Every structure is written in C-alpha cells, then in structure tokens.
Amino acid sequence: MQLKEMSKEELEAFLSENKAKLENFKEKNLSLNMARGKPSTQQLDLAVKMLASVNSFDADYSASDGTDCRNYGGLEGICDAKELFAPMLGVSTDEIIIGGNSSLNLMYDTIAKGIIFGVNGVDKPWKDYEKIKWICLVPGYDRHFAICESFGIEMINVPLGKDGPDMDMIESLVANDDTIKGIWCVPMYSNPTGITYSDEVVRRFANLKPKANDFRIFWDNAYCIHHLTDTPDKLLNILDECKKAGTEDMVYIFASTSKISFAGGGIAVLGASKKNVDYLLSLMTIQTIGFDKINQLRHVKFFGSYEGLKEHMKKHAEIIKPKFDVCLEALDKEIAPLGIGEWHKPHGGYFISFNSMDNCAKKIVSLCKEAGVVLTSAGATFPYGKDPNDSNIRIAPTFPTVDELRQAIEIFCIAVKIASAEKLLSEK
Amino acid sequence: MQLKEMSKEELEAFLSENKAKLENFKEKNLSLNMARGKPSTQQLDLAVKMLASVNSFDADYSASDGTDCRNYGGLEGICDAKELFAPMLGVSTDEIIIGGNSSLNLMYDTIAKGIIFGVNGVDKPWKDYEKIKWICLVPGYDRHFAICESFGIEMINVPLGKDGPDMDMIESLVANDDTIKGIWCVPMYSNPTGITYSDEVVRRFANLKPKANDFRIFWDNAYCIHHLTDTPDKLLNILDECKKAGTEDMVYIFASTSKISFAGGGIAVLGASKKNVDYLLSLMTIQTIGFDKINQLRHVKFFGSYEGLKEHMKKHAEIIKPKFDVCLEALDKEIAPLGIGEWHKPHGGYFISFNSMDNCAKKIVSLCKEAGVVLTSAGATFPYGKDPNDSNIRIAPTFPTVDELRQAIEIFCIAVKIASAEKLLSEK
C-alpha cells in the first residue's frame, strides 16, 4: 500500500511503529557514516603492493626515457605515466598533464588561472568582469559548488535527468550570456545520481555555441573506470566529438586515481587539446618545479598498463558492489512499495542519490543523525547548500562494512518512513 | 699582477694564451652543467631507504593519532609530520601546514590567494589594485622573480649585502608605498650569494612598519639546515622576533625537503602565525582534499625527528662540500690574483655567486657555452633577467661530479679571463 493512500489512523499507527524502531536503534549508540565517498580500508589494501614497487631494493628510479624520477624536472609528467593514463582519458600523450595528488586541485587551479590570466587565446581574465557565472547541474558535487562559491562565481542550476542535463536549457544559456564561463560535469556515474550522459548529450556538449569565447566545459570524469557491473555504462569521448565540431579548446577533462590507488596518495590527470595543455603548462612552469614523479613511477610499475588499471577496478567492484546491493535491496523492499522515494540504480561510481518526498530530506538526515548514522547534509548536492525541494540525499555506501551498512540503511529507511508519514499527516 | 695593471701587449698575450686554452677545451666536445641547483645522483641515493619505509610488508599506514594515511582527510598534514618539521621552521605545531611536494607551489598559491581573496583580515584583494609591487633583493632567485612577473607585479630591486639587504631602503619603501605588498627573502645561505641575514637585519624585518596592512614577508628558508661546514651560520627566528614586535601576521615561512630527501618527491612546509595558518587552511580546504599523507608518513618514518633530519644533512654536506671547494679553490688561485671577480665563500646552500667586472657576465656565460659548460643565464638573478651591471653569474656546483666540476670551473676561469682581458683592451 502506498503511504499516501493510508488513512490518518493507518498513518499514525505506521508512524508510531517506526518511531519505536528508531528509538530501539538510538539505544544502541551506533556510530555509522554514509556521508563521504571514501574508499574502505579493504579497498585501500588492494594497492598496498604499489608502495613497494619503487623501493630501495629496486635501485631503478628511472622513467623509460631515462629521467631520474627522484630529481627535478618533467613538469608535464613522466612519459610512462602519460602512456598509462592517456587511454583512460581518451586523449593522446601530448594531450595530457600528469598532476599532483588531487584532481580537485587541478580544477581549482585551472579556474584560478582563468580568473588571474584568462584562458588560452583570450586576453581578458575573468577578474576583469564585474561578475562571472557558472552552470551547475543539480543535484551535483558539493566540492565543485564550493569552488565557485569561494571565487564569488554566480551559480546557475540546470537539472540533471536520466541521460544527462537539460541540454536545451544549457544551449540557450550559453548562447545568450557571455558572462557564463564554465560548467561542471561529472559525465559518467554522476555524483550523486549515478547516471551517464547519453551519446546525444555528449555530442550536444561538443557542439555548444557559447557567446563567450572563454567558456569552458569542466568534464570531471572522476568515475571513468569505476564500474560496478559487467555491463558498464559507456560514455562517448568528448574530446573526439569536440574535434569533429572544431571546439576542442572548449573542454578540460579531469580524473584521478584517488579511488583507484589511494585517496590523497594517488595521481591526478588533466586532458585537453594540445593548445590548452601547452598554455596551462606555460603557467604551471611558474607555479611549481613539477609534481611527484616517484609516485608517478609507482603507479606505472604497479598498474603496468591501462588494461592493468581496468583489471584492478574489478577488485574494487567486488568489494563495493555488495554494499550498493545492500542499500538498493533495502530501498526496493522498504521504500519502493510505499511510494515515498526515488533513486537510480547506478552501474558504477560511488553514490546512490535518493529523492524523498518534498520537504523531507533535512528531517531524514536529522533523524538518522539522532540514531547514529551520519549522512551528507541535506542540500549539499545543490549550490549554496540550497535544495529547492528539500528532497535530495546522497548516500555513500563504500566506506562502512557490509554489516554496518545493513544497519545504517535500515535506519535510513525508518527515517524516510517517519519523515514521510509526518509530512502526510501534517497535510491531512 | 692584477689584470688592469697589464700593458696592452701583456693583455694581448694573456688573451691569446687563454683563447688557445679555450679552443683546446672546445675540441673535447664536453657537456657539463653548472646551471641549476639540483642534487646529484649520489645525494638522491642517501634517502632511497625512505622509499621502503612505508611499504606493503609494513602494514602500518597510520599516523600516531590513528589517521589512515592512505585515505582522504588531514588537510593540514599528519600530526607526526607537523612535529618533525615544526622545529625546522622554528614554529609550533599549530603554526605549520604540511603541503605537497613543492614549496614554490605554496608560495605561488599564497600570492594567488592574496590576488583573488586578499590576505587574512584585509577585505581588498590585490586584484582590485591598478598595480601592486614587490621588493626583490638582488641578486636573487629567478623563480621568485618569475612568479611576480607572471602575475604582473612590479618588482623593485633592493641590493643584498654581506649581512642582508639594505634595510634603510626597505624600511623607507614599505613605509611610504601601500601598493608594496610583499618581499622575497632567502634569509639563510641566500640564493645565490650564500650570505645569511644578521640578527639586526632579522629584527629590523620584524619591526617593519609597512603602510600597507596586507604587506607580507615571504621568508623562503629553503636552505635552513643545508650547512656545508661545522661552523654553520645562525639565523634568528623571524616568527619569534615578529611576536615580540606584535607583527606575527606579517610573515610566511617556507621550506621543503626537495634538497633533503628527493627533488620533486619531497615535502613542502609553510610556517606562519596561527591566524594566518587558519586563514590559509580555510581557503585550501576548497582547493584540495589534502596533500599526500603517505609521503608525509614516509618522511616521518625515515627521519624520525628533527635531529634525524640534521644528521642526514651532514651526509649531503660530505658529498657537496668538496664540490664547493673545487670551485672556490680554482677561483682563489686563478681569479683572485688578477682582481677580475668577487665572490662569497658560503657556509651552506647551493650556490656560489660570482661577480665579474661590469659588462662581462653575458660574455663569460656565452664563452662557457661554446666550450660545453652550461651556466645559469647571465641576468637570471635579477628581475626581468636584467642585471644592470651585467656582472652576476650563479654557479651551481652540486649536480656535476667532482671531476666534471674541475673541468667546468677551469673553463669558467678561462672564460672570465678572456672576457675581462677583452674588456680592458677595448678600453685601452
């Protein structure tokens, strides 16, 4: 029976039953966390042999072109790392920069350079505008939005659907407003909704005709090889499509091994047209003496090839797929029949995006917290932390153990039921 | 006999003799490099055991507070790294940020933040000025100057003497011009002159009364423990002196292990008042998910303590002291009696700064190049690459072997003699 079809009395009984269940959990003093997309200890253990791949017994610290990875130089990354990661981004080895340990840092710095210097070939830096704007797909990644907010960039929400964002809206926005300088995209296994952009959406991105010649697509392909199933989603190569459309300078592609090797101890990469790469390197050579080449060599020696990277990701999937299943099964069993929430079953990535009935998300997060389950703050998936419907909640199932998760998602379902019943009762 | 005392005939004979010597070297097709301050392979070998200090056999990836260094978090650095490096900077553990692999990157980003956001407690960011200025001590570090040039910051030269810069000039400049926002200092074993600031100079820095309340001292203490002798220079603690003067928010201190562990694979650190540290972290938390904590743990396990760091530096000194000696002995023997150059004998650091007769530096560098010896470009030690006297040349003796260096410095001395003789002849 759908919850909204219940009588007042039925709802009250339902509410009090679930409140009692929540009270039971409260007494257990649990401390469970489904808030951040962190790999679990078991996942981190998968790559520990990498830490021995460049060591004192090895006595070979050279890239295959002879570069001593322990010394200065090699701003753009060692040749072997470029070869390893170029196919992951779908670019050639002269269209890639191997960065430090954080792709977020590469994105932030790329915007900072736009602000201070402007983008390649455009003389006017963004600091010389009264205000610039950014398109933010919602729900989306809180740290993307935080960067815009920090820089004082005005964010424009565009809804994300099942096969990508509302392209009509994006085409119209960028065609008419030359103060719109960028857009955040997580095109594959989107954070948090888990959807992947359709071929048509990617082609429409490549064929955008922005009024601003310094408009840039920030293509954060964070989950490009982070599949959960044997039938993964497929994403069209944006740089290839841009080349066909003659817009290859319009896109920057980002990824990292933070959720492949080590979170914070991995390698971040940036893919772009040769022109953009050369321009960014011309600025980066002033900013740093180069990134950590020893860590690049470690990754190269451990993974060997792009095939090796993909094989490694199967081990991650083995660990985290059951966690997604625990959550999705609970939602299917507990929430679906009641008609009080919606979600997508992702084929990869790190999140399940749950949409409650309107005006329930904050309440659900707060109820969970009372029972010892920490969730990402309601609203966090929207710019300025403001979810206009107060309905989206990002569930991050990777870090807890399966047993912890089983409890956490049970509590979550109870919280959804309580918040939904209270809402329906208040409307009776 | 001093060269300037020679007759025309004597000079001509001297010149032709040295030209013949240079020709002999040219025939050898040498390829020697005294250009960049790079550690030698032998130095890099000193720390290779660090690469095994955190490995797959170890199975302990935790900081002493339990942080798993393989996962996200810990923006300010792991507690153990803060304890290791705080005494090196002369700050407390809440006055330090453990960064990525490059102190230059920390400096660049700190200025970029000043430009975009302004400094702590000052609302007006530097981008909102028509022009801002920076004091550059000359001769100085080319990469410092390149940062200012890249950002369009106007550089003002102030001469560096035997015990530090001309403080009268600095005091007067900062007191009268509120568009002067910063100054570059390498206070110990200065790059390139090798001098260390006297106590009085440090105290005068701490007691500066800048007109701009967002003026900042960039104290790049790159060579803080890079001693060459058993009687090292001593540098007063700038943060302590600033605290006495109530100016502790005026200084940022930088250092790294690039020339302690690995160049590009080390750890950069920033020391500052608690207020400045908190402010910088509040901006950095948007910029990155944190730096590489596994590499921090590696450094902690390998060096153990500040004492361990200092002991390690003695091994570096053993390797590079003979290289400095080869150069200094050659200069003493070949150049000093002729009165055609000046230099300081440094007690630490990475460079020997040679001042030729005016208008000879470019010629010397060019002659060396013809004979297969690469030197830092003449002028590089001055803003915009312009040495007004064309006399300063930075010699970097660490990277070549002692044998290579012996040849390189011999060629250098010949080039100095040729350029000086030609100059004197042209004036006859």
Interface size between A and B, measured as CB pairs under 8 A: 176
Do B238 and B198 contact (CB within 8 A), yes or no?
no
**Residue B123 pLDDT:** 86
Task: List the single residue in A36, A51, A116 with the smallest CB-CB distance to B56.
Answer: A51
Taking CB atoms and an 8 Å cutoff, what residues of chain B touch A295? 265, 292, 295
Query: For residue A39, what is the nearest residue in chain B, using CA coordinates?
Result: B71
Share of chain B above pLDDT 70, in %: 100
Any idea what the Cα angle at residue A250 is, between residues A89 and A200, rounded to 5°? 70
Do A247 and A84 contact (CB within 8 A), yes or no?
no
Please report the domains of chain A, with CATH numbers, ordered by start residue: 3-44+310-427 (3.90.1150.10), 61-304 (3.40.640.10)
Contact A51 B55 (CB under 8 A): yes
pLDDT band for position B58 (cuts 50, 70, 90):
low
Q: How far is CA B206 from the centre of its chain?
A: 21
Inter-CA distances, A223 with A81, A188, A254, A273, A399, Å: 19, 6, 10, 21, 16
Do A302 and A55 contact (CB within 8 A), yes or no?
no
A384, two tokens:
């300025």
Any idea what the Cα angle at residue B398 is, between residues B395 and B401, rounded to 5°? 110
Do B264 and A291 contact (CB within 8 A), yes or no?
yes
- C-alpha A229/C-alpha A376 separation (Å) is 25
Is residue B44 within 8 angstroms of chain A, CB to CB?
yes
Which of helix, strand or coil describes residue A220?
strand
- C-alpha A354/C-alpha A394 separation (Å) is 6
- C-alpha A324/C-alpha A346 separation (Å) is 9
Q: A366: part of which helix (H) or strand (E)?
A: helix A361-370
Which of B142, B146, B150 lies closest to B351, judged by CA? B142
* B172 φ/ψ angles, rounded to the nearest 5 degrees: -70, -45
**Residue A401 pLDDT:** 95
Which of helix, strand or coil describes residue B164?
strand
- C-alpha B332/C-alpha A174 separation (Å) is 68
Please tell me the distance in Å from B61's CA to the nearest CA on chain A. Answer: 10
Please tell me the distance in Å from A53's CA to the nearest CA on chain B. Answer: 9
Mean pLDDT by 10 residues, chain A (428 residues): 95 98 96 93 95 79 95 96 98 98 98 98 95 98 98 98 98 98 98 97 98 98 97 97 98 98 97 98 97 98 97 98 98 98 97 98 98 96 97 97 96 98 95
Task: Look over chain B and give the mean of its residue pLDDT values, rounded to a whole number.
Answer: 97
Task: List the single residue in A55, A61, A105 with the smallest CB-CB distance to B287.
Answer: A105
Has residue B362 got a pLDDT over 80?
yes
**Residue B428 pLDDT:** 85
Query: For residue B142, what is the nearest residue in chain A, using CA coordinates?
Result: A286
- Look up the ipTM and state it: 0.96
Q: B155: part of which helix (H) or strand (E)?
A: strand B154-161
Binding-face residues of B in 86-145 toward A, CB within 8 A: 100-102, 104-105, 108-109, 112, 115-117, 127, 143
Is residue A69 within 8 angstroms of chain B, CB to CB?
yes
Inter-CA distances, B397 with B260, B262, B349, Å: 16, 18, 11
Do A347 and A4 contact (CB within 8 A), yes or no?
no
Task: List the single residue in A55, A73, A263 with the smallest CB-CB distance to B71.
Answer: A263
**pLDDT tens across B13-48, in order?**
999 999 999 999 999 999 999 998 999 999 999 999
Task: Look at the block and give the residue holding tokens 């981190």.
Answer: A44
Please tell me the distance in Å from A265's CA to the nearest CA on chain B. Answer: 5
Alpha helices of A28-78 — where are they, by DSSP H? 41-45
Sheet holding B154-161, edge to edge: B96-98, B268-271, B251-256, B216-220, B180-185, B133-138, B154-161, B164-165
Has residue B60 got a pLDDT over 90?
no
Overall size of chain A counted in residues: 428
**Residue A58 pLDDT:** 61
